[in-house]
Amino acid sequence: MQAQTLIVEKRTETGKGAANRLRRQGKLPVNFYGKKIGSLPVVVPVKEMESILKQEGENTIIKVRLADQEYSAVFREVQRHPLTRKLTHVDLYQISLEDKLRVEVPLVVTGEAKGVKAGGILQQVLRHLEVEGLPTDLPENIVVDVSDLDLGEHITVAELKLSSDLEVLSDQETVVVSVMAVRMAEAETETETETEKLEAETTAPEAEPES
């Protein structure tokens, strides 16, 4: 993980009204917290935060500079407006490079499976892997090559090629990706749909009698 530097300033005002005023000024309210610093409300230009997220993504280590102090940090939460997708709030967690972290790393599938070439359907069951390791050992993503995967075959967590510096916390037997015949995939989808309908009917509240 490469560390970019984000320069932040302390916020003197907090609350919804103050946060909205900052956003109108092109600034982003950020909650910066950790063992050494407690909880600090800070602010940063939206463009700078967007630039780092666009280049590095959320699963990265950054340097946070506050006054004459510099800290290592990771993203804990990134909030966006549901319609415009503009940043509205970010939580940054101050870390020590000597302490292990538990994170969820994205799984990226690559290659064209043999089974897909034979007419099957590739299904990615697991999209993130929970691991623990030192911040500098944590990958931005984990690549899963499915080129040799044939019809009816799958890859489990235990079969992933990972660095020995990482401890996998996800269940080793969990299926990451599989290749299914079209009929089998359709049958599975129909079964899931019927199950969802049955659950909806079972949990639906009874109509109240009119008074």
Domains of the chain by range and CATH?
4-95 (2.40.240.10), 101-203 (2.170.120.20)
pTM > 0.85: yes or no: no
What is the DSSP code string of 151-200? TT-EEEGGGS---TT-EE-S-TT-EEEEEE-HHHHHHHHHHHHHHHHHHH
Query: CA-to-CA distance for 40 and 12, rounded, in angstroms?
Result: 10
Q: What kind and span of H or E run contains 211?
A: none
pLDDT class of 207 with cuts at 50, 70, 90: very low
Interval 37-65: pLDDT, tens: 999 999 999 999 999 999 888 888 999 99
Query: CA-to-CA distance for 41 and 53, rounded, in angstroms?
Result: 20
φ and ψ at residue 20, rounded to 5 degrees:
-65, -40
For strand 61-66 and strand 4-10, is the pairing parallel, antiparallel, or unpaired?
parallel
* Structure tokens that stand for 36 in this block: 């050494």
Query: CA-to-CA distance for 19 and 35, rounded, in angstroms?
Result: 25
Interval 84-119: pLDDT, tens: 999 999 999 999 999 999 999 999 999 999 999 999
Query: CA-to-CA distance for 41 and 14, rounded, in angstroms?
Result: 8
pLDDT class of 209 with cuts at 50, 70, 90: very low
Per-residue confidence (pLDDT) for residue 16, from 0 to 100:
86
* Structure tokens that stand for 180 in this block: 């299914």
Average pLDDT value for residue range 124-140: 94
- Provide the residue type at 32 as one letter: F
